Structure 1
């Protein structure tokens, strides 16, 4: 099925603009939440949440110049080690710093890193689709499904590393497909593609450690289907190049604390749940029922045709619909010849493998805190390929199947687009728990200090615990300088404001005048505005 080139271009342009609009609309409207601030602090200010405990001791004063003072590579590596899961998002953090230099530290600028990488992911998927399907209308369908994919849109609006890691794994899988599965002429020996595969794979590994599963999936495919020794030699030697910096990062870099952090966090989470009870939808015991529901939700959300159905119709009906969809996929993939089947078989491996790993990890930890789609998102592009491919297969069946498919397409498109409404109004939304946020309070506090501070004044910050985890890798056990850190992020290194922390004050940021007068700059209302 083909459409004219002129129309093809304008439809493609329209879909790309739609994708961009969905990702940038209200991009900076609502404040960064805790995990986003953690990424920004580490990426831009080279410090982790709760770090700088020595600089910000209650018996000392400090200035923004002290906060921004260079501390060398050792200090940065230490902060990275104490950050989210011990240095697992190096590439994303570097991009945050680069964007801060060029575009400032506003919330929209920080989230634009994710927008950029997700738009690049769509471009890779488009380029990939043009090479394994002869129908240009189906390449447009892939762009459409990617444009309105809820996971893509939601995580494009967060300053976290998921869109970054998704881009690099998609690029790595695409290049692997070119080198190993497509194998036209001497393509599998093309040094340019081999180099790009190495770069993309290293980028993936330094976006989040779980992306190593994408490499495991690639070589699992080779073990099952590739017998060409020259291909194995090329890929194995390049794999060695990929793993050298990754292993070094685990031996000498921040990642050496990774396993300790995981064990520490798992212990605290299971203790918390036993003491305080489950937090539905996030922190639950790894019971068979909870694991089953989480597995169904993750697998369902990989595919356009089953996305969110378990929410709309309950898990029983959602499971039946997912099983029916997977049966149709099996029938369709089985009907393909080997040349056309490879990309879909690789996709099935890349979808199933992370889910199996996360399932096992949840059983081992005793909780479902790490069993989410965001940790298994590397198969999402393949989920879109499978969804479009199955649609093409159904349209070759009897007229009644085609009518049903078109009606279902319209209904499912409507209900997926409907999911964006709470995203743009910051109500209860898919994939995230932050609701009812206002603008980021920390730039507001910083600008107020710059406007009202006079020589001889002292800015006083509260010390308030804001994280259920009290990990030795994350938190300072004496005081919590998080509010001070977040305000100083938006102050200049040339500012000389005298600042200190009050370990007994929990919510108010004050200016104490030299004459004893106290001005309340901001009150977090018992954490209401910490988001």
Structure 2
């Protein structure tokens, strides 16, 4: 196969972007131990219920008797897998857990291996995005490739994508699957409207499969398929296409319903209802110091302020501004500067030779605000350019993209907005703001990358007196994003790390290695235990002490080991090895309260 010179160049550039993305995602991948949800990933994938309701023969005697790693690793059945999914993750994500189980079988259960599964899907999203843009935008190949490459570069450096690659959860997989489903959806419509008699049956089957697997990877992928339906409502006029799409969706939902009826999903609605009541109670009685983070009643002002960071962080040039722009006076000044700059763009951007004062005033206008901001001067400078940026994005959509691409642009906007708007709707329905978070609407990012790439191309086409100041501001925002990546790598960015405390390297793997090194026949390993509460029937085990620390340490012990182990109900923090001959107590690891347990 031969490629044109520009095609070869674009392939090399895409390869370079992929390499950059790989480096950003692989760096410090296993530096910090697994946080709480990642522990669920590890245990559920092995058919083990967190807190051990399907290991009662092991742990019910643990406070008075002994158990061994060999007993802990007793073979698990498919019923165990379903129970683990029900009681550890409300029946969500069975497709992800099934695939990660296979991955662990092949590559082991180290922290690096567990998270590398997320890295792979995050990387695969980039060439898929390239294919999506070059296939569906009707424009000259070079222009389409340029738009695709810029979109891919944005995907490569997006802090949210980097952060999710460092988490052993289902999110990067769902981002890839929903983008692929959208790609196939558009190909189906393209082929159906091309005038050919044969409908693309295989594509419908594949689309139905993707819908089902996406929903079984995370239930909120439903929002993407709602966007598909809205787009079809706006632009599909043939009854036959509607019928085939509806049939594909029904088949997918029918398959997923089997999980709800016979599998772990049957407890999902019960769990979600319980959580809604719990979070609403917290929002009304203890919204701040509750152990779950800030949860507010779902009033219009509260929902607005909680959703503002989610919307602003979707776009690289406004990332972080919702939380760093502080004070009404500062914000009003930045907005005023932005409005004046936008007025100058509207009036003079298409003039070959505007008045000299315009060339001077445009950059000076942004710089003039710097000494007037009382805090976070650079962030307020970037904020002042947000209105011009959004104005130019809209003009790019209206002026620079051919009319035949307008439906696609509308689709991108729908896909960019619907997932987050759905979260807001659910917040009002449940009465609290807990679910308004970026990872639940992250399916929007690939489409926002394309819209942002159109903006960057638009800025590049402006005269230098407008272009250079705007690119300079983007350069300052890039520095802020690099700083943000540094905070992510150092696990001190709550917005992305999700762990409320700064984590350390995996204490349970370290403990397991130390136990293997020091254990001798006749010794006993004692595990600490915190008190636990049973909130629902699903949580009910009949045991008032936690065994999660013992579970996590045993995950890393040899499966055939016969070490004597038990739970020490009087010790909340320390894993201890008691030497059999002397009674000497050796502290294997001190978990220090909740420091290592998130």
The alignment's TM-score, normalised by the length of structure 2, stands at: 0.82
C-alpha separation in 2, matches of 1:188 and 1:438: 58
Aligned to 2:240: 230
Pairwise CA distance, 1:276:
4.0
Q: Establish whether residue 68 from structure 1 lines up as the match of residue 73 from structure 2.
A: yes
Aligned to 1:265: 275
Q: Which structure is larger by alpha-carbon Rg, 1 or 2? A: 2
Aligned to 1:141: 150
Query: Which secondary structure does the structure 2 equivalent of 1:431 belong to?
Result: helix
C-alpha separation in 2, matches of 1:365 and 1:323: 33
Aligned to 2:299: 287
Which region of structure 1 is more displaced relative to structure 2, 65-74 or 182-191? 182-191
Aligned to 2:397: 333
Aligned to 1:160: 169
Aligned to 2:360: none
C-alpha separation in 1, matches of 2:589 and 2:5: 58
Pairwise CA distance, 1:152:
0.6
1:390-423 superposed Cα distances (whole Å, 9 cap, x missing partner): 3333444554443344334323333222210111
C-alpha separation in 2, matches of 1:518 and 1:525: 18
Pairwise CA distance, 1:13:
1.6
C-alpha separation in 1, matches of 2:198 and 2:158: 32
The unaligned stretches of length 5 or more in structure 2 are 336-379
Aligned Cα root-mean-square deviation (Å): 2.7
Q: Is the 8 Å Cα contact of residues 151 and 431 (structure 1) preserved in structure 2?
A: yes
Query: Which secondary structure does the structure 2 equivalent of 1:500 belong to?
Result: strand
Q: Establish whether residue 473 from structure 1 lines up as the match of residue 538 from structure 2.
A: yes
Pairwise CA distance, 1:4:
3.2
- Pair 461,329 (structure 1): closer, same or farther in 2 beyond 3 Å: same
Aligned to 1:173: 182
Q: Establish whether residue 126 from structure 1 lines up as the match of residue 130 from structure 2.
A: yes
Tell me which of 38, 41, 44 is aligned to 1:39.
41
Q: Establish whether residue 508 from structure 1 lines up as the match of residue 574 from structure 2.
A: yes
Which region of structure 1 is more displaced relative to structure 2, 503-512 or 439-448? 503-512
Q: Establish whether residue 93 from structure 1 lines up as the match of residue 157 from structure 2.
A: no
Which region of structure 1 is more displaced relative to structure 2, 226-235 or 55-64? 55-64
Q: Is the 8 Å Cα contact of residues 32 and 107 (structure 1) preserved in structure 2?
A: yes
C-alpha separation in 2, matches of 1:7 and 1:337: 25
- Pair 28,295 (structure 1): closer, same or farther in 2 beyond 3 Å: same
Query: Which secondary structure does the structure 1 equivalent of 2:319 belong to?
Result: coil
Q: Is the 8 Å Cα contact of residues 53 and 481 (structure 1) preserved in structure 2?
A: no
Query: Which secondary structure does the structure 2 equivalent of 1:83 belong to?
Result: helix
Q: Establish whether residue 114 from structure 1 lines up as the match of residue 118 from structure 2.
A: yes
Q: Is the 8 Å Cα contact of residues 523 and 579 (structure 2) preserved in structure 1?
A: yes
Which region of structure 1 is more displaced relative to structure 2, 156-165 or 287-296? 287-296
Aligned to 1:297: 309
Pairwise CA distance, 1:223:
1.0
Q: Is the 8 Å Cα contact of residues 460 and 510 (structure 1) preserved in structure 2?
A: yes
Q: Is the 8 Å Cα contact of residues 45 and 489 (structure 1) preserved in structure 2?
A: no
Aligned residue pairs: how many?
A: 528
1:176-204 superposed Cα distances (whole Å, 9 cap, x missing partner): 12212575464993334333322222221
1:148-188 superposed Cα distances (whole Å, 9 cap, x missing partner): 11111110011111111111111111111221257546499
Query: Which secondary structure does the structure 2 equivalent of 1:305 belong to?
Result: helix
Tell me which of 589, 592, 595 is aligned to 1:522.
589
Pairwise CA distance, 1:225:
1.4
Aligned to 1:432: 497
C-alpha separation in 1, matches of 2:257 and 2:389: 40
Q: Is the 8 Å Cα contact of residues 511 and 521 (structure 1) preserved in structure 2?
A: yes
Q: Is the 8 Å Cα contact of residues 22 and 123 (structure 2) preserved in structure 1?
A: yes
C-alpha separation in 2, matches of 1:113 and 1:445: 25
Matches within 5 A, 1:97-496: 97-131=101-135, 132=137, 133=139, 134=141, 135=143, 136-180=145-189, 183-184=193-194, 186=196, 189-278=199-288, 282-314=294-326, 316=331, 325-335=389-399, 336-434=401-499, 435-465=501-531, 470-474=535-539, 476=541, 477-496=543-562
The unaligned stretches of length 5 or more in structure 1 are none
